Amino acid sequence: MPPASPLRGIALLVAAVLCFVLLDSTSKSLSQHWPVSLVVWIRYSVHLALMTILLAPRHGLRLIATRRPGLQVLRALCLLVTSWFIVAALARMPLAETTAIIFTAPLLVTLLARFMLGEQVSALRWLAVGIGFAGVLVMVRPDSAALPAAGIALAFIGACGFALYQVLTRTLSPTERPLTLLYYTALVGTAGMTVALPWYWGGPIPNAPQMLLMLAMGCLGGLGHFLLIRAFSLAPASLLSPILYVQLAWATLIGWLLFDQLPDPARLAGITIIAAAGVLTAVDARRRPT
């Protein structure tokens, strides 16, 4: 266990969420020209290849050794479904708004943890859930230049899948190694998308720049998860959890710089409300551990 270093943990987490925003940006760009399923398959297969090459020589079969294989596979399938719906949403919606809807997942975790895990939920946490969903309504208000309904639905389904993935992660974490959890997500995701490959892609072959972007997706995903694991090994989760919402700021900035998509003031207000609700949830978790 590395010695605690909160400032270094915060820096690594900020870098990790930047990797995730760049990963989503690359996925968004590629999904304009290639099937969503192909983009997701490459995202997972490159991630799996990198983990296998870098970690298998040292860890061997310990990478797949698990006490609960069924839950491992179910958790990984939840993330695969989440990834597909997020990429499909990104193909239709701006980066910042899509990211904000995905960040309702921690609020959904509150609901799932109450009914699936029997956790007690404080009044402050319920208030945060209400505030967060109010932020969503502000952001997707019907009287504006509307976000596409299909994109909103896809992003919200992705958020639901991500929430279930987080609950299953919470269930498995006490008995499973972090690298094993990470490896199963790459392994199951790659296997699932590979089996379905003939149904969603029959060519053509991507050109060199597109192939580099596709390889970058896997590298960004692998690097982001590695930095995330390192960050949480250097600083407590109660300190780092609110900082995850820096990803919304990154998504707004990158969406503006790369895609010229800057949310209008009302959508920025909705994004800010969702972030505030998430931070409130994280602060309550620190004050009242579940």
* CA–CA gap between residue 157 and residue 78 (Å, rounded): 11
Report the pLDDT value the prediction gives residue 290, as an integer from 0 to 100: 45
In this prediction, residue 21 carries a pLDDT of 92
pLDDT tens per residue, range 67-122: 899 999 999 999 999 999 999 999 999 998 899 888 888 778 777 777 776 667 67
Task: Please tell me the predicted confidence (pLDDT) of residue 104.
Answer: 85
Residue listed under structure tokens 């009287």:
143
**Residue 2 dihedral angles phi and psi, to the nearest 5°:** -70, 150
**Residue indicated by tokens 């990790």:** 16
pTM of the model: 0.85
Q: For residue 269, is pLDDT > 60? A: yes
- What is the Cα–Cα distance from 247 to 199, expressed in whole angstroms? 34
Q: Please answer whether residues 222 and 14 qualify as being in contact, where contact means their C-beta atoms are separated by less than 8 angstroms.
A: no
- For position 4, what pLDDT does the model report? 64
Instruction: Inform me whether the pLDDT recorded for 289 exceeds 60.
Output: no
Q: Any idea which residue has 């692998």 for tokens?
A: 222
Between 215 and 2, the higher pLDDT residue: 215
Distance CA 224, CA 250 (A): 14
Q: pLDDT category, 146, cuts 50, 70, 90?
A: low
What are the extents of the domains in the chain?
6-121+146-236
Which pLDDT does position 141 carry in this prediction? 65
